[in-house]
Amino acid sequence: MSLNAELDQFKAQFLAKFPAEKAAIMARADVELAATQIEQSALKVGDKAPSFTLPDASGKSVALAELLKNGPAIVVFYRGGWCPYCNLELRAYQRMLAEIKKAGGQLLAISPQSPDSSMNTSEKNALEYPVLSDTKTDVAKAFGILFTLPDYLQKLYAELGNDLPGINSAGAWTLPVPATFVIGTDGTIIARHVDTDYRKRMEPQDALNAITRARGQHAA
């Protein structure tokens, strides 16, 4: 089953049990976020990816520039370990990890969570790739995918137990739009997926294909 088929299946099961009035609030927020055109203003294919260094789940610093010395990188921005759609995505990339490495690629995931929370996410999903903490949300902002939740959605999230200012080190109601960027060894973005509908993600196979193409062009 593809990742997006898994996400669609979970969405259907979730909405079958979730109160319609709360689902309507989330749908309203989706429409309003899409209207900001953040998808269009985020970094695009051909743009240079911002250089960054972030702590992994154990607190060790991981630098994009160092990773790119070993091959192209898949950078997955996710909302947090509290998001079931994100966990499905992270596990899907874990299943593809061996193939990504075989193709000469690197893989890492980034969220606004603290390193301790990232450790929990990594352990819960049995991840064997770096899970980094963008605690100040500077990296998400640099990629053009950071947004602030509207007041009415903040209230709903708090009711659901997702008090983001308490969960995230930035202490704010901000999140990255879930996004995946595939970055070539020269720092150029060679593929991307940015969607204000957090229930849709780049297929790991598509990210792997971008890595394979990049490695092939480099070899040529």
pLDDT digits (tens, 9 = 90+) for 158-197: 999 999 998 898 889 999 999 999 999 999 999 999 999 9
Distance CA 165, CA 171 (A): 4
Residue with tokens 């070539």: 184
Q: What is the pLDDT of residue 217?
A: 66
CA 95 → CA 14, 33, 203, distances in Å? 24, 31, 12
Cβ distance 69 to 82 under 8 Å?
Answer: no
Q: Is the pTM of this model over 0.85?
A: yes
Average pLDDT of the residues of the chain: 95
Q: What is the mean pLDDT of residues 20-33?
A: 97
